Structure 1
């Protein structure tokens, strides 16, 4: 499976360039943070905030199943691979950041063959 992962920073031009890039590279799935827009088709899945997304951008007959939309991440199974897209805003409190990471870790347990991508906006305090 050919993957691409990036943060689009809610930028229309970046999303337009992404569409061209996936065609040129033959990408099948995009793991996105802060998309400009998401589609309404079955080829899209987003987290509860709309800031983490998975996009089936390939021409093949892939489908997403077992989709989970949570705060800060979305996950789906595509052709036997568990894909996770994450976005944790820098404005999150340390408590919220930890809670989302805990939920992500719990969800990952038992899922072999997993790919996690995203923007975690982690700041080093020390």
Structure 2
């Protein structure tokens, strides 16, 4: 098993649509081992409180393979507005650094392609 169960206040399930943007997807959030700043706790609380749609975390088995924990923070669709709002919430709870976003359509198809990078949204997220 590579992933712990998905946490969601709404009972989230992935949607695989005909294209990337209409499919659900996830921000990939690397979490250092050990998680001294307790980043996972912030993500977990936000998912349980409904601030984030859903989240899941890598198991120790995956950590051994990739060298760090990884959280998937889900979006109901992979359009830019939905992803930007999720990224805004992640930044508000203290997630920093470069993040990648992958649609569940790409995962289902076995494509190792990212639809967005957090850098695509950073200017729009800065307060004016």
The TM-score normalised by the length of structure 2 is 0.31
RCO greater where, 1 or 2, for CA within 8 Å and sep 6 or more? 2
More helix by share: 2
